[in-house]
Amino acid sequence: MLARVLLALSLVPALAQALCQPDGQDAYKVRLSIKTALGANAYEWNESEQFLFRATLAFAMRKYTGQETFNVSSVIVCDETPRVSFWFVVTNPNDTATLIPKNAVEEAIRLSRNRINSAFLLSDKTLQFLGIPPTLAPPSQPSLPVWLIVFGVVMGIVTTGILALIIIGFIQRKKKEKTIEDEDEEEKQERIMENGISCETLEGKDGVNNGAYSHDEDRLTQL
């Protein structure tokens, strides 16, 4: 009896190894980039961290299926590398020889992705489940686009400015017209009596030919 129990026990890890195969049909590869994410605060990846991983995955399975039978032992890990990457499978708690199918595991992980990430202080990019694309966060859309608000402010300032300048100009013009009307009659007369020819035009030119005086020599008789 004892020998049979011992034999069974020694076979379990071997059986577990047989279940977890890299590139297995129901296996997923996980890749962690702890130093990239945390830099100086990076933690060492060791057995305890591995334990936490299996525990969070069991939690994810429990949450997805609603069955509280999943345990740390249901998650089997193999092919660990110094990269920190490994393969894992999830066994059925009722029948440890069979595996939970791939898409069920995928759905479970997608559901609790955020919780799994935060347990390790990582993000979708640094804790990769190869084959499970991260759900893209939709960009935040405010109710009114920000640019229209800025546009409204600028246009408001511009319109008030234009109106202000037009009104000020109008008032100034009215004031100038009033001062001209109030001028003395004498001053007006002075301006009308000026000779209208602007002096500037005569300055630079050669003068204007006065046709009335040009042909005198021809018409006067010679003495």
Contacts with other proteins, residue ranges (CB under 8 A): 31-36, 81-85, 133, 136, 138-139, 146-148, 150-151, 154-155, 158-159, 161-162, 165-166, 169-170, 173, 180, 188, 191-192, 196-198, 200-201, 205, 208-212, 214-215
Nearer to other proteins, 115 or 173 (CB): 173
Please state the closest distance from residue 132 (CB atom) to other proteins, in A. 13
Nearer to other proteins, 4 or 215 (CB): 215
Nearer to other proteins, 45 or 59 (CB): 45
Please state the closest distance from residue 52 (CB atom) to other proteins, in A. 18
Task: State the DSSP H helix or E strand holding residue 90, giving kind and residue range, or none if neither.
Answer: strand 85-90
CB atoms within 10 A of CB 88: 22
Residue 77 pairs in a beta bridge with 88
Name the nearest CA neighbour of 27 among 17, 39, 38. Answer: 17
8 A C-beta contact, residue 69 and residue 60: no
Nearer to other proteins, 94 or 201 (CB): 201
85 to each of 67, 125, 185, how far by Cα in Å?
Answer: 28, 14, 103
